[in-house]
A and B are shown apart, each in its own frame.
Chain A
Amino acid sequence: AQTVTQSQPEMSVQEAETVTLSCTYDTSESDYYLFWYKQPPSRQMILVIRQEAYKQQNATENRFSVNFQKAAKSFSLKISDSQLGDAAMYFCAYRSAYRGNLRGAGSYQLTFGKGTKLSVIP
C-alpha cells in the first residue's frame, strides 16, 4: 500500500514571499501521479497542480511549482509571491497510473497526506 507523509503540520509565510511545503511518499510502483490540493475554510478541495511520474520536467501552474525527486520519493510544492488567498490546508496526494480497462481493474483512488496548514501574514 502507498503512504503519503507531510511532515509540516503548520507553516507560515509573509505576503509576497516564497514558501515550500514538503511531501514524501512510499510506493513500489514506477508509474503514478502526484497531486497538490488546496482546502480553504470553505472546505472545497481545489486542485493546485499535478505531476506525472514518468515526466522528468517539474510541473508549474502560475505561482505554483513542484520539485519532484522520483528517486528520493519527494514531491514539494513551492508557492511564489504568496497572497492572502493562498492561506489554506494543503494536501499532497498519490494515485496509481492507469493500466487498462477501468472496470474490474480496481479503483484509482487518491491517497492523501495529513495536510499542512499554511498561514499568510500580511
Chain B
Amino acid sequence: ETGVTQSPTHLIKTRGQQVTLRCSSQSGHNTVSWYQQALGQGPQFIFQYYREEENGRGNFPPRFSGLQFPNYSSELNVNALELDDSALYLCASSLATDTQYFGPGTRLTVL
C-alpha cells in the first residue's frame, strides 16, 4: 500500500507567477485536503475535495484553486503569487471523514 505522495519537494517562484502542486492520495482514499503551514505555525486548512468536487474551503482567496481527478489525485493551483504564500503545503488523504494521512509536503518559496 502506497502512502500519500507530493510533488515537487521544493519550488522557488517569483511574485506574480503561478504554481501547481500535486498530490497522490493513499490507495483506497477518496478525499483530499490541502493545508498551508507557515514557518513556526500549525497547518491552516485551504480546501477539501471529495469525489472530484470541492467540499469545503478555509479562509483563502479565490486565487487558491484546486482539482481532484477520477483516480482521486489532486492539484493545488495558486495564481498571482505573493511573498506571504511562501510556506509548506501539505496534502492529506482520507476515506471520506476517516482519519487524514499526510504527505511529505511541498516547500514553496516566493521571491
Contacts and interface: CB of A to CB of B under 8 A. Distances in A.
Interface of A: 4, 35, 37, 42-47, 50, 91, 93, 98, 102-104, 106-115
13 contacts: A35-B99, A43-B105, A44-B102, A45-B102, A102-B50, A102-B96, A104-B55, A107-B45, A107-B48, A108-B97, A109-B48, A110-B45, A112-B44
Chain A interface main SS type: loop
Interface size, B (range): 20 to 34
Given A44-B102, A44-B105, A102 B55 contact: yes
Contact of B45 (A44, A50, A111): A111
Contacts of A110: 33, 35, 43, 45, 92, 100
Nearest to B47: A107
Contacts of B99: 35, 47, 50
A21 B100 CA distance: 22
Contact of B97 (A35, A42, A98): A98
Interface of B: 31, 33, 35, 40-45, 47-48, 50-51, 53, 55-58, 88, 90, 92, 96-97, 99-105, 107
Contact of A103 (B33, B51, B92, B107): B51
Nearest to B102: A45
B100 A43 contact: no
B39 to A, nearest CB: 11
B11 to A, nearest CB: 14
